[in-house]
Structure 1
Amino acid sequence: MPPYLLSLGPGLYRIDTAFQRDDFDAAYLVVDQGRAAFIDTGTNHAVPRLLGALAHLGLAPEAVDWVIPTHVHLDHAGGVGLLMQSLPQARLLAHPRGLRHLVDPRALWAGALAVYGEEEMQRSYGQLQAVPAERAVASEDGQRVRVGGRELLLIDTPGHARHHHCLFDAQSGCWFTGDTFGLSYREFDVDGQPWVFPTSTPVQFEPEALKQSMQRMLDARPQGMLLTHFGRIGHSEGEVRALHVALLALLDETVALSLALRGAEDRHEALKAALSGLYLDSLAAHGCMLPRERQHALLAMDIELNAQGIGVWLDKLPD
């Protein structure tokens, strides 16, 4: 099996997309009775790995029925259009708030271009490819999706983004969480136990909606969570619930420190410093023994983006 492909159980595979670094960004492949679906795709640069995973498993491109990004942020959906050019039978299933941006990605590209610039966009993402409208389907809350004989339950999960949905795989007992159940990097595991923290990246962070979305996921009594960033966390309902408690605590602390800094003179830098302190203190309590400089380096991009997202959220709050 290629090193980027990992079996997570019968008919369930994690693909490391190599976005930014190893063990950072995952796509998932569900296979049953010779049919398949991709959940998240990574960027254009991940497409050879996704197609390579199919080939390794003896599946033709025609075997893929669905490509389902959890939301349209480019680290999750940037490769959708290019991938579907090689999957003649596949349909795109996207959140109704995000679908148009994959059918016509010009606004998505322009928004990211304004933040990152042309050179970084090409390096990290590649030119976005449109999905033909006739191959694109809007998802519905409570929808059930068939992959062979396997059924995935889809629910609307705002909080990280209003164009976010998650999927529950009853066979494995796991949710494909996108960014709704936070981020967890394998470098921070201690004795096999993960550390998880919330993401507030721009521009639609809504903490109360995020809490409600997570609770809906917990109501399914999941046995594990399949994060885009990165991999499976939790291997029993009890472990998932314990991770949820820890994630909620960090979310509440994030909200409290953000509100306290709402009127700070250099608010963005103050938010970054506060988030850095919060995360590193939490990692210390978790037992992480990596040097603090290394911890901060691994979290630097998230600290910057989370601070940006919190700033947008604070500006939307009523006076």
Structure 2
Amino acid sequence: MTALPDYLEPLGDGIYAIDTGFQRPRFDAAYLMIEAGRACFIDTGTNHAVPRLLGALQALGLGPDAVDHVIATHVHLDHAGGVGLLMQSLPHAKVLVHPRGSRHLIDPRVLYAGALAVYGQEEMDRSYGQVIGVDAERVVSSEDDMVLHLAGRPLRLIDTPGHARHHHCIWDERSRGWFTGDTFGISFREFDRPGRTAWIFPTATPVQFEPGPLRESVQRLLQSQPQCMYLTHYGRVTDVPALADEFLLQLQQMEAIGAELRHAPERHEALKAALRRMYAERLRANGRQGDEAELDLLKLDVELNAQGMAVWLDR
């Protein structure tokens, strides 16, 4: 058997993680599910990931015509920026997206402008490129608790606001796992330690962070008693109850930080400093160093989470 490319990781149950190459290795994942010769992508990464997604199909002996579905967990560009370009190579596929996100995949100008306001033109050109729309007749809006079938394999989608109002998660009964996008937070592999649970934290990327709905969404995911979560950032994680406890604790602390600093002078810098202290404390509580080197890995997330919390506080 020919060796798989190094960006393609088999996870069992016909599921593969594809490292999209966004920002750094093992930072941003798309998932490929294969059932009876038919295929489905869940999240795509950016335009720059499309060669890897098509290469994954080829490495597994499938052509682009084997793909029936492309599911975007939500329309943030690190998850769905490459959907339009990818769809140009998939003759039979339909895009499945939350109803609040459909119009942004069909006409991505507003979505692009929102990301531009956060990241600036230089970063948009470097990381995302030109975002391409999808023909409206190829876009299907999901409904809460709908079931989609991949060659008879049921995939259930539920509405999961909190990180974004255009977010849904996908349940795979076969592996007893949720594809969570950003609803169940972020777990960078650099923080993994032998014999220890992965470390996780919520993400408040602008502009629709809402702690109450996010808590309810996570609790709804847990009702299925999942054995694993497939995170876009990054990979398959297990020990779900412990991860959920850590996630919900940090979410509660973020709410407390927001309440304390709502009217603080130089609020953005104050929020960033409070988040850094929280992450250092939680890293140490989970057996990591919590030092400057580890906190430096979280520099972008501190910035984005502070921005997202500020929008939530003002709202």
**TM bracket, shorter-chain basis:** over 0.9
* Contact 1:271–1:307 (Cα < 8 Å) also in 2: yes
Q: Which residue of 2 aligns with 1:259?
A: 259
- What does residue 140 of structure 1 align with? 143
Q: What displacement does 1:10 show?
A: 2.5
Question: What are the residue-to-residue correspondences of 1:1-319 with 2, within 5 Å?
Answer: 1-192=4-195, 193-234=197-238, 239-289=239-289, 292-316=291-315
Query: What are the ranges of 5 or more consecutive residues in structure 2 without an aligned counterpart?
Result: none
Residues of 2 paired with 1:199 and 1:260: CA distance? 19
Q: 2:282, 2:122 → 1: CA distance?
A: 35
Would you say the 8 A contact 1:140–1:156 is kept in 2? yes
Distance (whole Å) between structure 1 residues aligned to residue 292 and residue 249 of structure 2 = 24
Percent identical: 63
Q: Distance in 2 between matches of 1:124 and 1:152?
A: 31
Give the distance between the partners of 1:125 and 1:114, measured in 2 at CA: 14
TM-score, structure 2 as length reference: 0.97
Q: Which secondary structure state, in structure 2, belongs to the residue aligned with residue 229 of structure 1?
A: coil
Q: Aligned Cα RMSD in Å?
A: 0.9
CA positional deviation for 1:122: 1.5
3-state DSSP of counterpart to 1:83: helix
CA deviations on 1:219-244 (whole Å, 9 max, x unpaired) are 1110000000000111xxxx211211
> How many Å separate the matches in 2 of 1:106 and 1:43?
15
Which 4+ stretches in 1 moved above 3 angstroms? Answer: none
After superposition, what is the alpha-carbon deviation per residue over 1:251-310, rounded to whole angstroms, capped at 9, x for unaligned? Answer: 101110111011100100000000001001111111114x72221211000000000000
TM-aligned CA deviation for residue 148 of structure 1: 1.1
User: Partner amino acid for 1:94?
Assistant: V
**Alpha-carbon distance in 1 for matches of 2:313, 2:261:** 9
1:51 partner SS: helix
- Counterpart secondary structure, 1:232: strand
How far does residue 211 in structure 1 lie from its aligned partner after superposition? 0.9
1:129-181 deviation digits (Å, cap 9, x = unpaired): 11000100100001111111211110000000000000000000000000000
CA contact (8 A) 1:190 1:286 kept: no
Letter in 1 for 2:292: E
Determine the C-alpha separation between the residues in 2 that align with 1:283 and 1:120. 29
Distance 2:26 2:296 in 1: 15
1:126 is displaced (CA, Å) by 1.0
Aligned pair count?
Answer: 311
CA distance in structure 1 between the partners assigned to 2:136 and 2:204 by the alignment: 30
For structure 1, which segment, 100-109 or 114-123, has the greater mean C-alpha deviation from structure 2 after superposition?
Answer: 114-123
CA distance in 2, matches of 1:49, 1:122: 19
For 2:313, give the aligned amino acid.
L
Q: How big is each residue's C-alpha offset from its partner over 1:184-229, in whole Å with a ceiling of 9 and x where there is no partner?
A: 0011112242000111111111111011111111011100000000
